[in-house]
Amino acid sequence: MLAAVLRRTLAVFGLVAFVQTAEAQDNISTGLFFRADTDGTTVLSPHVGARVGIVDDSTWVEVGYGADIWTSASIDIRTAATQVVTEQRDEITAEVERELDEVRLRGSYRYSDEHDYVSHGGALAVSQELADGNATVETALSAAIDSVSRSGDESFARELSTIGAKVTYTQILDPETILQVVYELNRREGYQASPYRFVGVGGDGRCNGSAQLCLPETHPAVRLRNALVLRVRRALGADFSGGLEYRLYIDDWGMSSHTAALQLAYVVDEDSTLMARYRFYLQTAASFYSPRYDLPMGRLRYVSRDRELSPMDTHRLALSYERNVDLTDAGPTVRFTFAIGTALLHYSDFVDLGVVFAFDATVAATVEL
Amino acid sequence: MRALAMLVSLAVFAEALPAFAQEEPEVFTGDEPVEGENVFTGDEELPQESPEEPPPATDPSGWALPRILVVPERRTPDALIRNLYSLLGTVGEVVPADDYIREARSRGFPPEADEAFEAVLPEMDVELVVVVGVRAGRRSRRAPRPRRVHFMYREGQDGLALLEEEHDLPSDTLVQLTADRVLAEARLALAVITRPRAPGVVQEGDEVRPVEARLERRGPRREPGAAVQVALSAGGGFGMRQFELPTELGVVRLTTDPFPIADLALLFELEPTARGQLELFGALHYTTSLGLRTDDMRPDGTVRNTASRSQALEIAVGARYRVVESIDSVALGGLAGFGVRLFSSEAPVTIPDYGLSAVTIRGLVIFPFLEGRLELELAPELQFIFLVDDALTSRGVDPFAVALGGVARFAAQLTGPLYAGAIYRESHAFLTTDDEGAGDVERYVSAYLEYRP
């Protein structure tokens, strides 16, 4: 009962996904995401998908196709002294979900392909309602197998396998407040470096600079990642709702990160919602990362020029507007979403890269039966 | 008060119809006068009956649960719909409204409109229709607006309104008290509906009033409005690509064996008047090779095998016009749009990565069969190429050219929202260079599934 009240409250504020209720209506969705940054990278990501209810409307099948068309002259490309690179990654997803009274089962598969990276992944999830729907526990197991190759080098072939588990506990505190705790454990084993990145040893750290030695990027083969997330959402009167989120991440490469996010939603009218979200992210470097590696006296085990392993912090602000529109008197209804975001990424210890500004925009539409 | 008024009208209606309550199957006593073929004159030879086992007065094998169509109005919470399914499932067989809604919209009526029930229900084979929607209560500054759930119970043959009720809806599901009331309302509505609805209920010679006369109208009759349809299709098949470009070092030539392709399309259709003669549409169509590898002959005579990709993207708008006003009519039409076909390789090879951008004009002839459940489309095509990539222009290719081709498509309806079909496309681009002609040929065949929610 309380769960339903809260679900309605959150639905009003477009936060249904937080409660992880499935959309029962058949729909077709499409969207386009665009991102550009001052590091010379642009990404265009179209997506289409469909969700169909079958078997007494308690089983749903969802399929989707998406692509990332990626053009870059980023620091990685410039360091490798190659021309602007354009690549495309295609992804197909399929999901089956079945509702059995208070239990919801979900199985999904993902296939991703680009010319030098192929990935197969799957997940199984069980969600159970507790305490008359006032609490929900979801357990998910996932696995993926990736094959990494290098353009122009047929002899290069590496594997990466990933297994993971995630437990999500959602508790309704009162008719207007919901709390969620998530713990995720993830183990990756295999090749986790970039086949195109080389690390300068000695000198200024750049292979095309004054480095005396240039080594292929080498990372440890195993990585154990832990993440703990806390989220709170609350309806603030009739027209507003707010949310707070904190995420702690720790792995055995010596990295840790803290994420804090604040979200505010405003119901403009019965059919439209406006949302603002701010996110702050701060991470430490991996234990083996260094902006410059000195010539070692002995063996240098791991070297990296991955900016994602360097110390960094980001600020991101996003605005989104969602509106339901009836195409005709008879329907169907289309839900339009427009979103823009801007981010500032600050790399405090990375050679040749300090601050990057990024801009992104999303246009999406979902047609519901 | 309104419920009371409806109950009064319900009682009047119950008197007017030969009603049989659900719990009380029809029983013959033998005293009723029977007319027509069933009248006994006394001259007939009566069948011999076994004194030990008298035949049952009714045949229970013919009994069936009443079919209840649940029609949710737009924005009705999913949880409420599922709640109603399980609740009404205790008094009948619940029929989800997907097919009904799809059919009503295709006829240009809101699913909850009288005209939609009148047009579609005769094809649905249901006894009772329950229309459910959520109404907003009075707005409050301090809390989300309260809501009420609204029910309209309708007779299943032509949508005659039987009973209208409204209850508080504090959450997305019914509280027990409301659920009990809804169950009682559904039983009451079922009690006044003639069942079983079988041949013979209306006898020859009975007065049958037109549906319009029996429907209680709340306003002027609604004319069919616009109908919108969105479709998503995905398929796979095989494609071929040929390219020829004369250069100073000789002719650079690409010829592929058939390679697997994937084919995706998003379609938006608008009939300004549902099932009228004119239909407008917009389409986005994407085709890509899968796992294409090509052999590149290098100047030194060595062959390099490399991953390549052939892609085509088209966005177009168009119209088609049914020659006569019938869903079975042949239709003529056309579309105009923008198309680009691309070829790229993973590693630098002799054949450059290139793209051809064009304005596409395509004529359409559509032959429907079986009330539109089968459709054959033929579409000759002309493309005006206005942009050729620098990789080709730097080799002397003129940026302006034409391409000729066509599309043939066949589609069949499998179930309500699902279609299957096949498409064949071929296009020959005639490029011009400083000296001789160059060309690009694209062809593919694909089988696809199309989903129209």
Nearest to B79 among A4, A88, A329 (CB): A4
For the beta carbon of residue A68, count every other beta carbon within 10 angstroms.
18
The whole-number pLDDT of residue B345 equals 84
Give the range among A20-34, A243-257, B209-223 with minimum mean pLDDT. B209-223
Could you tell me the two tokens for A19?
A: 């409660």
Do residues B410 and B448 lie in contact, with contact meaning Cβ atoms separated by under 8 Å? Answer: no
Question: CA B432 → CA A80, A92, A145, B311, B401, distances in Å?
Answer: 38, 39, 47, 22, 7
C-alpha span between A254 and A284 (Å, rounded)? 8
Could you tell me the two tokens for B108?
A: 């240009």
How close does chain B come to A369, measured CA to CA in Å? 6
* Model confidence at A2: pLDDT above 50: no
Q: Three-class SS of residue B180?
A: helix
User: Which residues are CB-contacts of A142 (< 8 A; sequence separation ≥ 6)?
Assistant: A121, A122, A123, A124, A162, A163, A164, A165, A166
C-alpha span between A281 and A261 (Å, rounded)? 9
CB atoms A115 and B346 under 8 Å: yes
The whole-number pLDDT of residue A78 equals 66
**Cβ burial, residue B36 (10 Å; 0-12/13-18/19+):** exposed
Smallest CA-to-CA distance from B84 within B188, B186, B195 is with B186
The residues pairing with A28 across neighbouring beta strands, listed in sequence order, are A50, A367
C-alpha span between A216 and A203 (Å, rounded)? 16
Q: Binning pLDDT at 50, 70 and 90, where does residue A89 land? A: very high
Asked if A325 has any chain B CB less than 8 Å from its own CB, the reply is no
Asked if A326 has any chain B CB less than 8 Å from its own CB, the reply is yes
Angle, alpha carbons B217-B218-B219 (nearest 5°) = 95
Return residues 108-137 of A near B (CB < 8 Å): 115-116
CB atoms B75 and A369 under 8 Å: no
A contacts of B230 (beta carbons < 8 Å): 28, 332, 367
The whole-number pLDDT of residue A56 equals 66
**Cβ burial, residue A87 (10 Å; 0-12/13-18/19+):** middle
CA atoms within 13 A on the CB side of B433: 18
How close does chain B come to A86, measured CA to CA in Å? 10
Question: What percent of the residues of chain B are helix, what percent strand, and what percent coil, each to the nearest 5?
Answer: 15, 45, 40
How close does chain B come to A89, measured CA to CA in Å? 12
pLDDT tens for chain B, 453 residues long, are 444 444 434 443 333 333 333 333 333 333 444 333 343 344 444 444 445 555 555 555 666 788 999 999 887 888 888 889 889 999 999 988 888 988 898 888 888 888 899 889 988 889 999 999 988 766 655 555 678 899 999 998 888 889 999 998 887 888 889 999 999 999 999 988 866 555 544 454 554 444 444 445 556 777 888 899 899 999 999 999 888 888 777 777 777 789 999 999 999 999 999 888 999 999 999 999 988 888 776 666 677 778 889 999 999 999 999 999 888 899 999 999 999 999 888 777 777 888 999 999 999 999 998 878 899 999 999 999 999 888 888 888 888 999 999 999 999 999 888 899 999 999 999 988 877 778 899 999 999 999 987
Interhelix angle B78-88/B176-191, rounded to 10 degrees, is 50
Question: CA A310 → CA A78, A284, A303, B415, B441, distances in Å?
Answer: 18, 7, 12, 55, 49
The whole-number pLDDT of residue B385 equals 94
The whole-number pLDDT of residue B277 equals 92
**Cβ burial, residue A192 (10 Å; 0-12/13-18/19+):** buried
Element (H, E) at B16: helix B2-16
Asked if A93 has any chain B CB less than 8 Å from its own CB, the reply is no
Question: What ipTM does the predicted assembly reach?
Answer: 0.77
Could you tell me the two tokens for A294?
A: 């000195």
User: Which residues are CB-contacts of A39 (< 8 A; sequence separation ≥ 6)?
Assistant: A74, A75, A353, A356
Could you tell me the two tokens for A114?
A: 């680009």
Could you tell me the two tokens for B3?
A: 């419920």
Q: Average pLDDT of chain A? A: 87
Cis amide leading into B260 (omega within 30): no
How close does chain B come to A200, measured CA to CA in Å? 26
B contacts of A326 (beta carbons < 8 Å): 74
C-alpha span between A75 and A198 (Å, rounded)? 12
User: What's chain A's length in residues?
Assistant: 369
Pairs of residues, one from chain A and one from chain B, whose beta carbons lie less than 8 Å apart: 127
Could you tell me the two tokens for A245?
A: 């989120």
Nearest to A24 among B81, B171, B232 (CB): B81
Return residues 238-297 of A near B (CB < 8 Å): 238, 270
A contacts of B267 (beta carbons < 8 Å): none
Asked if A24 has any chain B CB less than 8 Å from its own CB, the reply is yes
Buried b (16+ CB within 10 A) or exposed e, A322-345: bebeebbebbbbbbebebebebeb
Asked if A88 has any chain B CB less than 8 Å from its own CB, the reply is yes
C-alpha span between B53 and B439 (Å, rounded)? 88
Nearest to A330 among B227, B266, B288 (CB): B227
The whole-number pLDDT of residue A161 equals 97
How close does chain A come to B347, measured CA to CA in Å? 6
Asked if A236 has any chain B CB less than 8 Å from its own CB, the reply is no
End-to-end CA distance of chain A: 27
Q: Mutation target for A interface from B73, B117, B178, B230: give the one with most A CBs within 10 A.
A: B230
Nearest to A235 among B77, B144, B227 (CB): B144
For the beta carbon of residue B204, count every other beta carbon within 10 angstroms.
6
A contacts of B113 (beta carbons < 8 Å): 330
